[in-house]
Amino acid sequence: MWNVCVRMYLFDINNIVFEIWGYPLSFVELTGTVFGLLSVYWASKANIWTWPVGVVNVLCMFALFFQVQLYANMFLQIVFFGSIIYGWIRWKRPEAVNRITRLKPSALLAVLAAVAVGTAATGWLTSGIHVFFPQYFPVKAPYPYIDSFVMVASVAAMVLLAQKRIENWHFWLVIDVICVALYMMQGIYFIAAQYAIFTGIAVFGLMNWRREITNYELRMTNDE
């Protein structure tokens, strides 16, 4: 019982570690931010450590988003966990069958269409979740469709990342910019600052992955 209480306290957003410029920073937000930054940095370097570190980030973000009523983002962490396991297994494959590649235009259009449909459906569900399940979600979601776009687009980006498709970074750039505004509106400024940093890392990741593709294409040309 004591261990359960300790774990619940650690994940409580009212468990403040310190204040930074007047902003009370909780343990769960600080931990999630640090591990999130590490995970994205290693993803930009195509390093497999992005996945185990991402597990800690997912656990912290699940607890945080529930407490600030960003329910779609909360459910997203469950999908992220599955994507992490998928990516972790896939990135263990030999480099010859696990290199960075691009999506075909038709495949990219299919992904964009799926994101649009998924956002509409999830937004409708999230906007009424306080009515459908009041015992679990007593507070109305403030930005259901923006929240839902972040969720659905992030799922697409995570799958593309796991498959080492370079287009994942284009998705993350859009998502990160939106998240900066969304989290500032919800008053979780430290997470908003984290996503501002994510934006810069996404630019780095895109450039680094492009370089990897170019180097691979040059090696193939020279081998011929």
Within 8 A by CB and 6+ apart from 213, the residues are 100, 101, 102, 166
* Segments making up each domain of the chain, as ranges: 26-223
8 A C-beta contact, residue 166 and residue 214:
no
Share of the chain above pLDDT 90, in %: 37
Residue 101 φ/ψ, nearest 5 degrees? -135, 175
Within 8 A by CB and 6+ apart from 9, the residues are 15
- Binned at pLDDT 50, 70 and 90, residue 16 comes out as confident
- pLDDT mean over 209-223: 78
8 A C-beta contact, residue 181 and residue 168:
no
pTM exceeds 0.85 for this model? no
Tens-place pLDDT, residues 151-210: 899 999 999 998 999 999 999 999 999 999 988 887 878 778 888 999 999 999 999 999
- pLDDT mean over 31-47: 90
Within 8 A by CB and 6+ apart from 13, the residues are 26, 28, 29, 63, 64, 67, 68
Q: How many CA atoms lie within 13 A of 5 on its CB side?
A: 2
Decide: helix, strand or coil at residue 13.
coil
- Binned at pLDDT 50, 70 and 90, residue 5 comes out as very low
